[in-house]
Amino acid sequence: MADNTFYNEILTEHNMRPLYKHKLPEANFTLEGINPNCGDDIILNLKIEDGKIVKGSFEGSGCAISQASVDMMLDLVIGKSKEEALRIADLFLRMIKGEADEKEIEELDEASILKDISHMPARVKCAVLGWHTMKEIFEKHDAGEK
């Protein structure tokens, strides 16, 4: 039987009452991420200034895991430098692959509740959608695009 301990208050709270689900007119980077299997569809908005994530939000719809994951991600990366956000993202992605150790995972705070997704291949794409979208934004940022 699958272990679904991540359907807990932290996840349902981020899903029902997300902190960062709103429009962000001042964003200078906006990118859509789609997971066709699930039908998850999010738009990630970031305001990046001097290599720092000043503000962030998301819009769209999807399963609780995709929604909560992106909300928890924004909670972790807003106020951080792009490099630091990238390091956290890589740590999260390693956790989802089952490659991060307990101590590293602690650093992910609430997002660590998704660690059991590593045993659920069908849900991996939901959990990583926001994180991959953020990494793509950074690539565009580095390439000087908007």
How many angstroms separate the CA atoms of 139 and 11, rounded?
29
Least CB distance to other proteins at residue 1 (A): 6
The residue to which tokens 């964003």 are assigned: 27
104 vs 13: CA distance, rounded Å = 24
| Binding residues among 34-93 for other proteins as defined by CB under 8 A | 37-39, 41, 61-65
* Sites for other proteins among residues 12-31 (CB under 8 A): 12-13, 15-16
Measured between alpha carbons, how far is 89 from 96 in angstroms, rounded to an integer?
Answer: 11
Measured from the CB atom, the residue of 1 and 143 that comes closer to other proteins is: 1
Nearer to other proteins, 29 or 131 (CB): 131
Number of residues that bind other proteins (CB under 8 A): 23
Q: Which of 9, 49, 101, 145 binds other proteins (CB under 8 A)?
A: 9
Start-end of H helices in the chain: 9-16, 64-77, 82-96, 102-106, 121-142
Q: Which two tokens stand for residue 138?
A: 């950074």
Any contact of residue 102 with other proteins (CB under 8 A)? Answer: no
Among residues 106, 21, 10, 27, the alpha carbon closest in space to that of 71 is found at: 21
Residue in 31, 43, 86, 120 binding other proteins, rule: CB under 8 A: 120
Residues that bind other proteins (CB under 8 A): 1-4, 7, 9, 12-13, 15-16, 37-39, 41, 61-65, 120, 122-123, 126
